[in-house]
Each structure stands twice: as structure tokens, then as C-alpha cells.
Structure 1
């Protein structure tokens, strides 16, 4: 593999992971970010992002000199053969991705790019962005390539170094081969396609996963009405080789930094193209419905009214293994309960330092969240919740009621402590 000079613009979890992993593969990487304090911390070897193995990779890259950090675009981009854009593309008011940060950086660096350089969008961007950035650059000697990332928060390093596939969208064969070559030591299957198709791959993948999750939650509701067990149903489904076993777990709905904004952007693209995508629209509606169902279960367990009731929340992040609160279903459910007058106390291992979030008073441990509670709701399946002393939990609660929205627990454990357990798509037998 030929070592390349690479600039990574943006040091969030995608950019930092990408830069550190490419340095490990033997490339010379300069990472830049507008946040001067973040750059100073990274130069000291301080990694704030919760990603297993990332801190070690950053330290290793810095020690070998293959990974450097700067706030200066000129310093990072000048002389780089490949410039990777790993910038935020949040959902705009119209549902489409906001390209403000991406376009600003492209405007800043276009005169700095070396002749023959390749600009790569790693950020999730709308269809047509490669062409749009090419016009903005105004450089016939610089190619724009789409190379979407498929990194899961909490597993980003693992996913980068063990990819299912590498997708490269380019109109120029030389640029496509250059970008694909960056990943050659990984031995992953490379999909070389046009830029528009590459831009659609990420949205299409996340739209399918969101639909799959909503479908499983629909099945969970059906199981509750018919006496079935959704975990038994999905176990049977997983045995079918045509159905991948991932994303077949019922829960409180989906959220996070990707699925909500990517489904919205895909629907926006469909609207622009006069395409309906009815399945995806139904999946988005169903997600809101299933979040409301969790809140309804809590209300039901509290006698039909939670006004003035104290509710304890276990877990606030959108999933275990990350400190990300963005579009967390836990917070969506918290808002629904707060709107009905509930007093909320919440605990999350990654958010214990917070005093309050979204109307939730944050406390330092799970037992404080349960103290004097009329009901307890398990919303994020952190491993430590499975190890709680349920007799102690029952002792501190005002009413021993637990809604396990993740089906994390063996219901017999809280049951032995006298706690009434209710799961998602499951009935006690």
C-alpha cells in the first residue's frame, strides 16, 4: 500500500476516528478543527469522545508522527493528496441536511488545494452534493468523491478497521482508485459507483434500518395484544438466512445522531423527486407511536394519571455505549411524561455530571433515581442496570413498578423483590 498525505477536516467522532485509523494504516494524517480547545486537548492526548480504542490509536499516531492536529486549514490541507470532509450536516428546518459547514470549508480551502488533489465527503450529505461542491470549488484539476461512513457510535474504531464494505462514488477512475486504495490493507469489499448512488447508499441503509426497527416494535405491540413473546418471535426470524439478525430487538423507538436526520433527508429527497416512499413514512410515524406507547404504559401503571407522580428514568442517552443525547428516545419519552405533569429523576452513567436535561432532574446513581418513585422506567440498556440490587430498589421506591422498555432484565429478578415488571412485547408466563 502506498502511504498518502491526508487532511481530515473536522475532529468529531467520525473525523477523529477516521484520522486515527488511517494513521494506523500507515498514512500521514493532519486533522484540523475550528475548536482550538479541542485541538489543544488532542495534542495533549486527551480524547473526550467515548469510543473504545480511540484514545490508544490517537496516542499511537501522535507518538509515531503519523497523526497531527492543527486549527489551521492551510497547514492541514496544503500538500495533501486527499482531503476528507468530516463535518456536521445537521437536519435543517425543511428536513434536508444543512451543508453550511461543508460549503464554508470548501470555500476556505479551494485555493489551498494541491493540483490533482481529491476532496472526499465522509459526512452524510444530500444527493447531488458532489456535483454541487465541484461547482463551488471551480477547480477542474480537483475531483470530488463521495465516500460515506458507516460507523456506529460506541463501535467506531471496530467498524472502521473491520468494514462490511467500502463505498466510493466518483466520476473519475483515478480519483476512485486513489480513495479506495486508502483502505486496501483492510481487505474489505469495495463498491465503486457513481457519486449520486454513493450519496444514496448511506440514506438508503439507515432508512432500511429505521424501518426494520419500527417493524419489530409493531410486532412487539401485536405480541402484547395476542399474548405472544416478541423475543421468541424474533429468535425464530433470525434463523432465516434471508433475514439479518441485527436490528431485530424491540425497544422504546429509535433515535440518535443518524437515523432521525437521515430518514428526514431521504424523505426530503423523495419529495423533491416526486417519489412517495410510503414504507419509510410509515416507519417514521410508527416510531413516534411506539415512544408514546412507553409513556402510556407508565401512565397506566400509575393508575391513569401521572400529574404530580415521581417517575425515575434509568438511561438518558439514545443507546448504551455512548454519551450522545441527540434525538434520544429516552428524552422523547421523558418529554411526553413531563407534559402530563410527571416529576422526573434520571440517571445515566454517561450523564451523571448533568444537573438537568429536558425537564429531567439528573442524579448520581440508579438508586437515587428510584427513590420515592411511583414508577421506574428502564430506557437505555446500560450493563450496570442488569446488576442492580432489586431488593434495594424496591425498598426505596414508593410504588414498586418497573417498565422495562428495552427488555434488558430477566423479569424474575425484580419480581423476586416484589416489583411489578412490564416489558415490551412480552408477557409473564
Structure 2
């Protein structure tokens, strides 16, 4: 039978494909039922370059998650990123209906006007989703849910995420060729923020930095809403390539050395030591000093954080980041990364691990490399958009039982509770 309280996140990254199956417990925390992971060789800089390899990786990761969770996955919330994705702040203003009380129709008109105000959206791009930043009813600012408020005008702004149609289509095609339904697409910097950011940080002002394999994603939250984001085309793979070039080693060897012996900050270096590289593919073994490896890694990581600093300052929000920065993603696991980030960014820095997980296989995904996929799960729950997500696999391996014809398997709110404003907002936008 289908279960509308279970969602699946799919992160198709440059170096790995991750899948997480989760449900919400009574306290609203995430219970992890299963996860899967596979090497990704079909993307470059978060953009699909090989359909077949990407499909193969998705199938492999999904199969692992299904085995661990005993659930057949049918639909997913997939992340999307890359330099082709950009975001637009769009202002909107409307007159409230004749009753003088804001209703659902007013909000729909507000969102529609925010959409039409994007004057330079060409035929090659499409809107991925819209994130309201604030509502102002007459002179009352900072309104999160305007419905039911009295007023004559409603204005505010929305953060509209736009991407190239062809690249979005390639992601969708890969997911569908793997036998899955795309329930939703989420901009990955938004997902990473949801996964690792604390509510107090969101309100105080924080920059979320997700260092992936092919791209580094930056998102700034001020007063509870996303205000700025950027995708930087320098990331962890570039560090590995630098190591391979610097010590004249195979890429796979350089990656292992980076993980086992790497350090991103010379200032935190302990006593120097010799590192031995075993010979591979008929090559003779060789050695080098660990300090040399640190110098190589530090140089590239410095460039990454300098680009992040430039992006943050360009946003105009640098002085409002009272909570500093949260660094996450697989590329943040190199020792010394937080210290280097603090020095270059000039902000307080902490590492970002997935938040709000209560149990299940929590230990398996309690890692920054799972920040994005956990954020995709969180985003699905936040928007109550599970769609056709999973089917329980029968113990005898037979096909799962389908609900009777005409039975509505759409989620109508947990425990029979009425939908939140976020729920309604999602539905309204989809009808525009």
C-alpha cells in the first residue's frame, strides 16, 4: 500500500548520487528508513553530460535504498543546480479584494504578478519554483501568512529560481529513464540550507556554503528568507586534480591521499611527516612530505573561499550575517576547512551536519555529504508535496497492493490537521 507520510530525496551530484527514504515521527523529526549511494560519472559541474551513466548511477543508488528500507521507490524530489540556474528578486503589489481581507485569491494574484514582472525571462529558461520573501499588508511589514489580515494593498517580494530548459529536461529525463517519477525539483542551495541551518541562524542572518564535487553553492538567509544565492564552478574535484598534478599521481590515488592525509590550513598543521605512495599499474612507489600536500590543498581551498567571500560581498548582505557561515558538503570534510574559512571570510564558522533527524539509520547519514539530499527530504515535507512516492514491498516479493480505483492517495495533511500556509502556497503556485 502507498504511504503518503514517506518521501524520497534524490541528489544527483558530480561525484555521487544519493538517495534517502524518510518519514516523519510524531514529534515532526525525520526517521531515516533507508539510503543509497553510487558513484556518479555522468555529470560535470552539476550538469548532465552522459545520460546512460547518470541513469545507471540513479538505479544503483535507488536499489540500495530500496533494499535497506524494504520500500519500492516510485517518485522523488530531485535536486537541481549548476551555473545555468540563477535567481531573481521580483517585487509585486496588488489591491486586496473588495472585502478588505486578504484571501487565497489575493495571494495567487500576488504570485502571478511576481512571475510576470520577470521581464528578461527568455524562451530558453523556465521557472523552477518561487520562494516568497515577505508580505507587507498596508504598512504592516514582516508578514509570513497574510491570509485573514485586513488591508487595502498587499506588496512584497519573491525569490524566483530560473534554469535552462534543456538542462532541466536532461535531469528529468535521467530520472524518468531510471523508472522514477519527478514529484518535485528543488534548487540545491535551498535544500542544503534547510538541512543544516538552525532557525535562530535563519533569522539572524547566515550564509550556507555547500562544497560539492563539481560546484560550490552559496545561499544567504536574512530575517527568515533566502535573499541571495550563487553557484561557483570551483569545488572539491579541483582540489583532487591539483593534488594529482602536484605529486604526479593518478586521480584515484590523489583522492585517497586528500581524504586520508589532507589538511586545508597550514596554520593548523602538526609536525611534518613523510607520506608513502604505493606503486600502482606498474609504477614505482614514491614519497613526499605531508606539508607539501597541505600547501597544494590550501591554495585551492583559499581560492574557493575567496570566491565565496567575493560573492557574499557582492550580494550586499555581508554586514547582516550575524550568525556567520555554515560550511557543509563533502568538500568541507578536509581538516582545517573551518579555520581557513573563518580566516578568509572574516565570519564565525561552524560545520554543517543534517539537523532534525530522530532515528532510523541516523548514523549512516549524519555526514555533511548528505546535507543536500536530507534537505530535499525536508523540503518535500515542508511543502507537503509527496505525490506518488513509495510503495511498500510485500514480504513475498510480489507486487504491492494498489488502492481501490477512485481512492485518493494524495496527502491531505498529517494526522488530519488542516494544511499550513506553506501547503496552500505550493498548491496555488502549481495552478498558476
TM-score by length of 2: 0.24
TM-score by length of 1: 0.25
Structure with a larger share of its residues in helix: 1
